[in-house]
Every structure is written in C-alpha cells, then in structure tokens.
Structure 1
Amino acid sequence: MGLPLAIVSMAGLVASNPDKSIKKWKEVCNSLFPESVPSLTLDGVTRILEYCYNDLPADLRTCSLYLSIFPKGSKISRKRLIRRLVAEGFVSEKHGLSDEEVAETYFNQLIKRKIIRPVEHSSNGKVKSFQVHDMVLEYIVSKSSEENFITVVGGHWLIPMSTNKVRRLSVQSSGSEHGSSTKHMNLSQVRSLTMFRRLDQLHFHSFNNGILQVLDLEGCKGLKEKHLKDMCRMLVLKYLSLRGTDISKVPSKIEKLEYLETLDLRETDVGELPKSAGQLKRIINIFGGNKNPRRGLKLPQEINKETMKALRILSGIEIDEQSTGVEGLHQLTGIRKLAIYKLIISKDSKIFKELRSAIEYLGSCGLQTLALNDEGSDFINSLDTMSAPPRYLSALELSGNLNSLPKWINKLSNLHKLTLSVTVLQMDTFELLSDLPLLFSLTFSLSAAKQDEAIEDILEKNKSESGGEIFVPSGGFKSLKLLRFFAPLVPKLSFPEDAMQALERIEMRFEAFEGLFGIDTLESLQEVHLRVNSAADEITNFIVEDLKAIEKPR
C-alpha cells in the first residue's frame, strides 16, 4: 500500500505547486531520496508525508492535524468537519467569504493535496463523506500528539499518555486497553471533547465548564439526564452534537448556553424544543428529526427576530395543527435553509396561510434551500399561488402528492438541485424545467408518497396521458449532470439527439421499468445505475439485462 500512497501524495503535492520548476522538483527528489534505492521503504513513505505536511500553508496544516479527532477507518461527514472547524475558531471570514465558505475552500484543498479522499457525493455534486488513508492518519495523529494539538485516547494508535494540559480530547473505542483511561490526565483546559464510545467511561465534572466550546457525542450510548444537566453548565459551548444518541428531551436550561451556534439533535427521539430554546441569541444551525422514518422537531413556541436573528439553517422540523411557532418564521429573515420533514395541516387552517406567507416572505429575503415533505395537507399544491417566486433558491425539494409544478419554477435561475415527487413524472414537467440554466441535479422520488397505494395509479395515469412514453426535450438541461428516478414504476424514457448533453450519471430504483432509449446520444454519460426491486416481473428483469448488455460507443 506504501507505493500507491506515495505516488498519490506526490501527485497532490505537484498539483498544488504548479509554478515550481523542474530544477526545484529534482532538488525535492534528491532531498527525499539522497541515495538511489531499489524499492520504496516505509521510511521513504514517511519522508514523503513529512514533506507534504511541511509544504502546507499554516491554516491547512491546522485543518490536517484536526483530522486526528476521528478514528481509523471512519467515514467522515464533510459538513460535520466544516462546522466543527468553524466552532473551533480555525477559520474566519476573509475576502468576502463567510467562515463556512472559507472552511469549504480549505476542505477542497485537502482533497486536491490527496490528504483526504472522497467516499460519497451528494446529488448536488459536493463531497458528502470522506476518509483519511490509514498511513496518512497515523502520521497526523503522531504529529498532533507531538504538538499537543489533539489528544487521542483509546484509539488504534499507540500514542504515549499526555503529560501536558489537554486542549482537545478525542476518546475513541479500541480492542486494546492501552491509553484507554483519562484518569491521570489534566482535563481542566479541554476546549473540545469528542466521544466515540459509551459515556459511562467519562465524567463531565472533570472538565472546566467555563472553557469547553465543542462537545460532539454523535452516536454515543449511555447518555443520561444528568449528562444533559451538566451540558447546560457549559456556558461558552458553541457546538453541541447529540446526533444518533438515545435522548428524548432537551432540558429547558439550554437557554443558558448563550454562545451556542450549532445544535444537532438529528436521529434522536427529541420531538420538541423547549420554549426556552427560542432565547438562543447566537444559534446559527438547528438540526432535528429523522428522514427515515419521517419524523420532525416541533418549533419552539417563542421565535422572534431579536433572539434568533443569527439563525441560518432550520432543518428537520415538523408542523401540525398544534404548532405555535409558525407565525414567528416571518421573523427569521437571515434563514438560508428551511427543511420541513413532516407537514400535516388543514387547508382551511390559520397555520396553512401563515406558513405559505412565511415561505413567500423568506423567499424574498435570501432563502437558498427549501424542502417540504407534505403528508397530505395539499400545501405543496398551494405554492403556485405565491405572488413571487423564491428567486434565490439553489435547492428545492417538494415531496408528497404534488399535482403539478408551480409555474414560477422556470424562473429560478439559480436553481442547482431539484427533487420532486414522482407524481409529476411527466413530459410537461421536463418541458417546464428544460431551460433552467444552472440545474445540476434532478430527482423524481417517492418520499412521503411511498406508502400511498394511489401513487401507482397516478403514475399509470401520467403514462397514458403521455402516450406511454416520455420524451426528454431536445436542446434543454444544458447543465444537468445527474438524473435520478426512485419510483415503483418508471415509464419508457427517450432521449432525442441534443438532449441533456452534459448528463454524466443516471440512477434508477424501481419495481417496474419500461426501458431507456437514445442513451447512446448522451455524449457525456459515464454511468447508469439500476436497482431492481426483488418483486420486479420477468419483463422488467429482461429489459434491465438487455440494457446492461449495451456498450455505449466512444
């Protein structure tokens, strides 16, 4: 594994120094390998990693060392890393970019330099998760320990017990007991704590509540009410992740965390924020609910512009007839992402009108991402009556029994990513969307409609209205690179010449499928991924096998 890693690391180094002359590169090679050797040794790989590390600008060096927080083999979320870098204060606004945008540029540099490698991509083309090569991580952990930057406890690596004051602590699980205890450590200066094991092995009273800024307990088991009470005493906490833990309630004293910027409650049993959460003056990101099954987080009762004016992301919420904070959404004029995971309201209710009014208003203030999962309220079908389109949108998701698209959708010139209910899988939809200049990703999905028996009837009706075949308009979708269909029935799809010429990838998941035609005209197409339901009939399986046998001419 050493040789490929050495080649990849050197390639990243060369790509990041395009102006360096051949003479300089020869000097680099001579310094790394002063004597010619028949094969590359482990020491040689280490020298390459050392050189690559020392070549990093100071900010990137810090970001690299920070990767030692995560255990060997971890699949790490890009967003998790970026939000943590911001909370730690390792990035700040510069050149007109926000701190998160600056962190994104650092992240992209780490990829370019081959320090991290992408594992998954989101439908918008961005890296969703990544990994660090084991040898690179071993080097980073060792370097981080030397510089007393991050202290790793109980991990895979045999790191000597820290005798210094610990500043950032990562408690990892391991089959070995070596270094698995924090008993003899000085934890009074810990500013950042990340746990990857049960909480009963660590006591919060060991820490100085007046300086702890980052607490990441994602996926931890054994979280008790006493732990939550202790958290509410961490008065300068900026980042709190309880994602994937087994908590069901957030204590009302959370309002004491007046510096809190990120609160992550996703994939927990927390169904409602306490009233006091509306007093979090610096809160920027709130994540709750669960995508599968669809569960949401109810809004705090008190939302007003003065207390939550910093809020930028409100994701994973639920709105029903008892929701009391909907009217306050109007006040969140700084919000950039609003994702409603569950929506159950009556068409004649006051909340229905308040929500539509709030979305219309926020759309004029800079809302960039809107996701609505409508469980039968017919709310998504009322969006067409809005007086003006949400013109700043770059991502839109409309799930549920959508009858037709809002007519203003073709005016969204910044729209990059679009996810729609399969109920609008018809030719009219493609025609309406074909001229969107920046549309990168288009998905037709089941989502909320998944359990609705009437969906197949709707798809059959759409199919008959289009004559049994959907033709993608010629000449449109100039920027589209990803096209996805997740439906029980995918009708016959035809691509005329000059259709979707930038398309690189098609993904389909279905039970019944009638074929793809004209894919040989898609000049940029690289991948077609088909996932067939086990209940698929013989004809569908035959069509899939036939499609697999087609070799696209080059």
Structure 2
Amino acid sequence: MAESAVFHLLANFAPFLQEEVNLLTGVRDEIEYIRDEFERMTAFLRVADAMEETDPGIAVWVKQVREAAYDTADALDMHMLRLGHHHGNGVRGFLHKVCCYIKTIKARHQIASEVKGIKSRLINISEGYQRYSDIYRRQEQGSRPTIAWYDSRGDALLLEEAELVGIEKPKSQLIQWLMEDDPQLKVVSIAGMGGLGKTTLTKKVYDDPIVKKHFQNHAWITVSESFKTEKLLQSMIEQLFEEVKQPIPQGVENMDTNSLKGIINAFLQQKRYVLVLDDVWNIHAWKSFRYAFPNGYCGSRVILTTRKVDLASFSSGECHGHVYNLMPLASEDSWTLFCRKTFQGNSSPPYLEGLSRDILRRCEGLPLAIVAISGLLTTKEKNVEEWERISRSLGAELEENEKLTSMSRILSLSFFDLPWNLKLCFLYLSIFPEDYSIDHWRLIRLWVAEGFVEAKDGMTVEEVAQSYLNGLINRSLIQVARKRNERRITAYRIHDLWREIIVSKSKEQNIVTLASERGIVWPKKVRCLSVHQYLDSEQESSCFTHLRSLIVFSSIDSFSILSKVALLGDGLRLLTSLDLEGTQLETFPNEIVKLCHLKHLSLRGTKLKTIPKSIGNLQNLETLDLKQTHVTELPDEILKLRRLRHLLLYRYHFSENAFRYGTGFKAPMGIGSLSSLQKLCSVEANHDNGIVLRELRKLTQLRRVHILKLRRTDGKVLCSSLEKLKNLRSLCVSAIQEDEIIDLDSLSSPPQRLRTLYLVGHLQRLPRWIPSAFNLVRVCLRHSKIRDADLLRSLQDLPNLASLDIFHAYVGKELCFKAGAFQNLEILWLGELNELIWVRVEASSMHRLKNLFLAKCKLMEELPSGIEHLTNLKSLHLFNMPDSLISRLSRDLQGGDYWKVSHIPCVITGGWKDDRWQEYFLS
C-alpha cells in the first residue's frame, strides 16, 4: 500500500523542478535525488506488498517508506502554499517577482532544510533495511521457534451433518444440479465470502450416498491461494487410481503438468465422474486443471468452491453449469447454531439472551464466526459483566484472543490476496460507522480525492474507481446494500466482522483515525480523521498538522469540530477532502475557503443557504456537493473552479402538487467555461433567455445533466446543445409546470451513450429519436399525459431497456404489451394512470420481467390479462389499487384470480391509510 503514496508523490514533483520555481542552490539536485530514490523504491514495493504479512522486516520497511512519502508530499505542498503567488508581465511583473522572492526567502531556507532532512531519512531507510533484514533472515534460518496459526478449514471435512444447520436447502439444490439428466460435462460453482461454509456444504454433498452411487469416480483436491499444480494433479491421480484399486503409474512424482493431465484425461474417458476443486482463488488456477477433465458425454460434474463471483461465473459458464451463491444463515438458524455451540444445545439463560443476540448480530449469519465466538464464550464465566465486555471489545478480541485468530486469519486471506491499490481502498472503508449504508458515488469521489485511483488511458478516474468497487464485490469483501432498478448499485455495506478487521489494520498502518469514543490513543500524525461521536480537545496541535481528510458523521455541531481542528492543526492547510454531510451546519465556515489543496467538499444535507464569493479560492476543487441544502444560487466566482468535475446542487421535497418535487439552482452566465464538468445537477432553465442552455454545448465531458423548469420555447436550444454532448449517459428534463410541453423533437439523434432518460412534463408524443437510443437502460415518463395508444411502440424494441416507469404519463384506456416486445425489461411501474381500464400482456412479452408495480390506477378492476405468462416475475406490488381487484386475489375465493399470481413468490398490497403507509403480503 506504500506504492499508492509513492505514486501520488511522484506526480507532484514536477512543479518544483520547473524553471519558474526559484529554489536555493543545491536544493533542486536534492529534490531530484529524492524523486529518483522513490522511483527506485517502486520497483520493489509491489513485491514487498505481497510479503508484508509473512516478513516483519519488510512490513517495517514498507511502513517507513509510506510515511516518508506522505511527509515528502506534505513538505512540497506546504512549500507551494508559502510561495504561492502570480506575477504579471513587464517591469511591474519583474518588480513584483523580486519583491516576492525577498519576502519568501525564509520559506525557501525552510524548504531547503526540510529537503535535506528527507534525503537523509531516505538514505537511513534504505541502509537500515539492508542492515536489519540480513540479521532477521539469519534468525529465521536458525532454530528460533515459530508459532503457526491454526487453519480450521480442514475441520470442515470432519464435521458430522447433525452438527450443521441451514444446510438442507442448498444441499438439495446442489444434488439436483449434479444429478440432472444432461450428458455434458458441467461445472457447479459455489461462491461466497470466507467463513460461509462452502467447504462444509460441498463435503456433505460429495459424501451423500446418492451422489456416491451416481458417479463412478470421485476425487477431492484443495487448491488454496498458493497451490502447486503438479502436487495437486499427483494427488488427484492417487485418489482416482486407489479408488478402483489400480496401481499408480510409475514416475508420476517426476512428471510435468502436461503428462499428469494426460494421465487423468485418459483415465476419465467414457466415465461418469465427480471432482471437487475446493478453494480456487483465480481463473489461472481453474485453467491449470480445466483440460485434464474430458467431456465424455457421460454426465460428469466438477464442483468448484471460490470466494470470487466472477471466477464462479466464468468456470460454470465455460462448461454450461450452475452457480450457487451461498448466503449467510438466516436469523433462526444462526440462533440455533449459536445455542448449540455456546450452551451445548440448551437454551440461553434469560439474563444472557439479550447480550447473546447482540453478539450474534455481529456475526451476521457467518457460520465460521458463530462457531469461533461460541468457542470463546464457552470458556468465559456466564455472567453479564463478562459478556458485556466481549460484546463491547470484539475488535480487540479478534486481534488478541488466540481462540479467534484462526477465524480472523481465514477471513483475512481475501484481504492479503488483494492487489496493493485495492487494499488501500478497502482499508479506507473503515471511515464509515458500523452498519452504515455507503453511497456509491460518495465513495468513488472520496477515493479519487484521496489519490487512491490510478489514471488509465481511455478511462475516467471515476470509471477506474468503479472497477475497484467491482473487484471488492467480486471477492465478497463488500456487500450490495441497495440497487436501483435491479442493475445500478447505489449503496454498499461491510460485514461487521470485516469492519472490525479493517479498522484494526487501518489503525495499525495509520490510514484512518477514528474519533468514535472519548479517551482514544491518537497517532503522532493524523492523516485521515473520521469523527463518529466525539472529538477531544486535549490533542496536541502537531497531531493535525498533516491532516489530509476530515469526514464528520456525527450530528453534533460540525462548525465547532471544524474550528477546533483548524485551531489545533494550523488551519488544516493541507486538507484535500472535507465531508460534512448531514451535519448541523447553517453558515458556510470561513476556514473552508483557505483550503487551497481541497479537492472534495461535501456539505450535503446541511442547512446551508448561501455560498460566499470566496469559494473561487478553491481552484483545486473537483467535487462540490450541495445536494439537499437550501442553496438556490451560486456566485459567479464558481467559474474560477476550472477543475470542477461534479457540481451537485438540488433538493427534493414533498408538496401537495406532486409535479413540483424538486428544485435546482440558478447557474451563473458562462458556466460553459467549467469544461471539466462530468455531472451537473440540477440547472434551472427559466432564469435567462436560453443562455445557460447554449452554454451546455461547451461541456463536452458531461456524463449526467439535469435540467429543471424548461419552457417549450427552450426545446430547440437544448437539443442543439445535446447534439454536442457525445459522452452523455444520463439526461433528466423537467418542465416549468405540469401543462408545459417538453419539445425535444428537433434533436436529430440521441447521444449514443445515453443510458438513463427522465422526462417530467407534458409530451404530445414521445420524441421521435427514442427508438434509435439503443443503449437506454432506464426510461422514466412522469406527468406526460400522452394520448397516443401506440405509446409502447417507440419503446418496445429497445434492446437494453431494463426499467420503465409510466407515471401519470398516459391518458388512454388500454395498454397492450405485444408478443416479443420488451425482451430485456426487468422492472415495470404503471402509476396514476387514471383513465386506464385494462392491461394485456401477450405471450412471450416481457419474459424477463422480475418486478411489476401497479399504483393508483383507480379504474383498473382486474389484473393485467396474461400476467400468468410472466413466469420470471419475483414480486407484484399493488399500491392504492381498487378493492375489487385486491379482493379477487384471495386464495379461498372460488372463481377468483389467485391462480394468475400463484407462481409469483411475493405479492404485496398496500397504500396510505390513517396517515400511515401499510403493506400486506398476500404470498
């Protein structure tokens, strides 16, 4: 992880080596030496990153390099602050330059001294590593005893099935897949995070008498993260030949991999076999064995377990198989397992039940954790005080208690397997409080501001950050907490035990400092401070002089926190990220406009009303998030922020008029000069004569834009600008009032990358270019009042359309979803269609539909005709629908409609009643 700090530093050397930066004699040479030394270190850092856990000497060296890189970056940035000035041309400019040089001579001597100190420190780090690593390795080769952690994964193969809970359903499904009547070779993959019991489940399936009898040959090999192909192939050969009591071929122990694969392939020809590859870590490992397994069309199967979802999908997809995503235990099963292990099968004593359930909640259904923590509890006195202590200090127990170190180590294997950049991003998640729902875009923007994201050709840094998130999801290290329309992930969460682990590792490596309780031990240099509850006032001021990030989650007065840290930490002058989302902030703090290095500023959800003109001082700002504040206008000085990439200023609110659900801001003239903007939300278009809409065409990097209060006469101007926005992915257009027509017909063709389209306001008809918007994934039509009975014709052939909202957008009596239409639609909303009487779904229409919502269609007294054709429907939601429709769904009603929905797992009715939202599950 030191590599990230070094790479970030190397990118910052250029300003100090340019001719216009006046350095004292000899300082330039020493800065070049420092730069070159860090460049040399990067060649070894990637190797060292993988060795930190097993080589304490390397771990110390890496930490020293990381701290030296951070301190060097701080020194260079402070130097720029001290010397920061601009000179004009001519005689006046020359005199100003001379004057500034004289005024800053003290600062130049100071940077010279600091550079010499850094150079000396780097030399000592390099020499010290060589000196002490030799001694350490000599000790390792001696007789010094080592304590090995106990790998309990092997115990999973010895567990009796009677000891297990929640295994019946997954076991039954897996056996069904293994036994299905298909002669092709298939791979059945079991995926899930470490500790879920993949090995245990697989062993019970593998040993089941029905499975044993069905297959002629059987073999099990545990691959693990550091496998040797030859050894595992030899083990498989031994198992296969011993099972049929045949002698093992001579010379197997000296054969290469191709020869070993040849023996296995020949042995398994024309046989029905089942093979287990347990704990596979990457696609390379799968490919190392894949071609040893012949497809003799005898119904053979390979069972593969892995922590990585993409590997499971790849291997099963390659061999036409199945993927079983193993889930945590349900609450009832978790409690059963906990009591079985903690109280020897008895019930919990009443006085401990509350604490037991609290401790169990932290395990979140992870069998490995439940068993390990139960084992710890069995050694403790069964009294409230002791169990309260364990509940309160579970993180420390994971780190120190030998009964839990094995579990912690097994979970941590996934962390050790991460590349260096993902390790740092993952540890950074420790800034968030326990059980916190982590917003997708908030996390991405914070990662970028912190410098964690490496630029790649052809990709924005945000797209690279998205690939990092995908890597963590794929490894089951973070969980999807919320999705929008089944596809777009909007929020994440971390398993409680994983959070305990990364909080510990982050603290150890001084990545994040948490102010979550009183009396914590502060590091010498706080670089990233996350305030959850308290911020003690007893810290030394030097503690904050290197602060780069401040994130406040507490609802206490953020202004006092900001002022307190500013006083202690020399004004937070090096701060690059400031996130005060949701805090009780009413006025814009003066300290903020002094933060010249600031890249990320979020005041989302505060009570802020105005932004000062001095915002123009923040010329490194990339994100300005003012969503859900009371700000409605930005000063012209915002146009100085030429690096701004995300400008978010809009507010949702409830109103008696459902049309007016949001407000944006009055944009300053000349907003087109912010040429780096990728997101602009939400601009009100009614404050000028279309000038701002004309300016949009200059913002060619825009990915997302929201236009509010559009007038009919603005349509042509907006369309002419949209034609220039080749990178646009999301477009939201809302009319100035409900009856105002949105006219977008003058757009000759849509932005070809457009994925999301919101049109809120009166449409005489759908824009004629919609059928050619082939990349559209979501279309939302609200208050459109379309009368054309062919509303659906323009949408039905869009190849990627997954979500469609028609809300108060159609005034006809009938809607027909034609056969073969909407082939990829997964979510359909039909709401407030006050004239709608019936809906017909023809066979083979919307065959992938998963969620259907019907709301406030007051004349619709029957379910959609043909709803029984929607065999993949997972949920049907009926909100504020006529009682006559709901009553016909009773399973006890003779001649009713229950048979039409009996195949749907979840049918929900509901609506507002007595000022309260109520829901009822019919199935």
Could you state the TM-score of these two structures normalised by the residue count of structure 2? 0.51
For residue 138 of structure 1, report the CA deviation from its aligned partner: 1.2
SS of the residue 1:420 aligns to = strand
Question: 2:831: which partner in 1?
Answer: 486
Question: 2:282: which partner in 1?
Answer: 17
SS of the residue 1:385 aligns to = coil
Give unpaired runs (5+ residues) of structure 2: 1-164, 167-191, 200-223, 226-278, 290-303, 308-367, 376-402, 655-660, 891-895, 906-923
Question: 2:529: which partner in 1?
Answer: 169
Looking at structure 2, the residues matched to 427 and 315 of structure 1 have their Cα atoms a distance apart, in angstroms, of 33
Looking at structure 2, the residues matched to 478 and 15 of structure 1 have their Cα atoms a distance apart, in angstroms, of 35
Encode CA deviations 1:299-336: one digit per residue, 9 max, x unaligned. Answer: 4323254x311111101222214476333223222222
SS of the residue 1:438 aligns to = coil
SS of the residue 2:408 aligns to = helix
Question: 1:451: which partner in 2?
Answer: none
1:315 corresponds to which of 665, 678, 681: 681
CA contact (8 A) 1:124 1:416 kept: no
Alignment of structure 1 residues 510-521 onto 2, 5 Å: 510=856, 512=858, 513-514=860-861, 515-521=863-869
Q: 1:51 to 1:548 in 2, by over 3 A?
A: farther
2:887 corresponds to which of 523, 532, 542: 542
Alignment of structure 1 residues 415-494 onto 2, 5 Å: 415-421=776-782, 423-424=785-786, 427-446=789-808, 459=811, 462-463=812-813, 469-487=814-832, 489=834, 491-494=837-840
Could you state the TM-score of these two structures normalised by the residue count of structure 1? 0.83
Q: 1:408 to 1:9 in 2, by over 3 A?
A: farther
CA contact (8 A) 1:209 1:235 kept: no
CA contact (8 A) 1:83 1:100 kept: yes
Alignment of structure 1 residues 133-532 onto 2, 5 Å: 133-154=495-516, 160-173=520-533, 180=536, 183-184=539-540, 186-197=543-554, 198=556, 199=558, 200-203=560-563, 204-207=566-569, 208-225=571-588, 227=589, 229-293=590-654, 294-303=661-670, 305=672, 307-322=673-688, 325-340=692-707, 342-343=708-709, 345=711, 347-348=712-713, 353-359=716-722, 361-363=723-725, 365-376=726-737, 381-421=742-782, 423-424=785-786, 427-446=789-808, 459=811, 462-463=812-813, 469-487=814-832, 489=834, 491-510=837-856, 512=858, 513-514=860-861, 515-530=863-878, 532=879
Q: Which residue type is aligned with residue 429 of structure 1?
A: L
- Greater relative contact order (CA < 8 Å, ≥ 6 in sequence): 1
CA contact (8 A) 2:715 2:743 kept: no
Q: Which residue type is aligned with residue 902 of structure 2?
A: E
Q: Which residue type is aligned with residue 75 of structure 1?
A: S
Encode CA deviations 1:324-377: one digit per residue, 9 max, x unaligned. Answer: 63332232222221112x3154x45xx565334333x334x3322110111327
Encode CA deviations 1:24-78: one digit per residue, 9 max, x unaligned. Answer: 999x9xxxx9xx9997664443122222221222111111101101101111111
SS of the residue 1:170 aligns to = strand
Q: Which residue type is aligned with residue 618 of structure 2?
A: L
For residue 385 of structure 1, report the CA deviation from its aligned partner: 3.1
Question: 1:7: which partner in 2?
Answer: 195
2:432 corresponds to which of 67, 70, 87: 70
SS of the residue 1:105 aligns to = helix
Looking at structure 2, the residues matched to 143 and 419 of structure 1 have their Cα atoms a distance apart, in angstroms, of 44
My pick for the range that moved more, 262-271 or 17-26, is: 17-26
Encode CA deviations 1:476-511: one digit per residue, 9 max, x unaligned. Answer: 212222212232646422211110122222233336
My pick for the range that moved more, 501-510 or 4-13, is: 4-13
Give the superposed CA RMSD. Answer: 3.4
Q: Does 1:121 align with 2:470?
A: no
Aligned length: 511
Percent identity among equivalent residues?
29
Looking at structure 2, the residues matched to 74 and 172 of structure 1 have their Cα atoms a distance apart, in angstroms, of 11
SS of the residue 2:482 aligns to = strand
Q: 1:368 to 1:120 in 2, by over 3 A?
A: same
Q: 1:499 to 1:22 in 2, by over 3 A?
A: closer
CA contact (8 A) 1:273 1:297 kept: no
Encode CA deviations 1:100-124: one digit per residue, 9 max, x unaligned. Answer: 1111111122122222211210126
Q: Does 1:552 align with 2:903?
A: yes
For residue 22 of structure 1, report the CA deviation from its aligned partner: 13
Looking at structure 2, the residues matched to 333 and 89 of structure 1 have their Cα atoms a distance apart, in angstroms, of 24
Q: Which residue type is aligned with residue 846 of structure 2?
A: M
SS of the residue 2:705 aligns to = strand
CA contact (8 A) 2:671 2:692 kept: no
CA contact (8 A) 1:485 1:508 kept: yes
Looking at structure 2, the residues matched to 516 and 506 of structure 1 have their Cα atoms a distance apart, in angstroms, of 11
When you count helix as a share of all residues, which structure comes out higher?
Answer: 2
SS of the residue 1:85 aligns to = helix
Encode CA deviations 1:507-526: one digit per residue, 9 max, x unaligned. Answer: 33336343223222224322
Q: 1:401 to 1:159 in 2, by over 3 A?
A: farther
SS of the residue 1:516 aligns to = coil
SS of the residue 1:407 aligns to = coil
Question: 1:83: which partner in 2?
Answer: 445
Give unpaired runs (5+ residues) of structure 1: 447-454, 464-468
Encode CA deviations 1:94-147: one digit per residue, 9 max, x unaligned. Answer: 263321111111112212222221121012612111211111111111110011
CA contact (8 A) 1:78 1:130 kept: yes
Q: Which residue type is aligned with residue 552 of structure 1?
A: H
Q: Which residue type is aligned with residue 524 of structure 1?
A: N
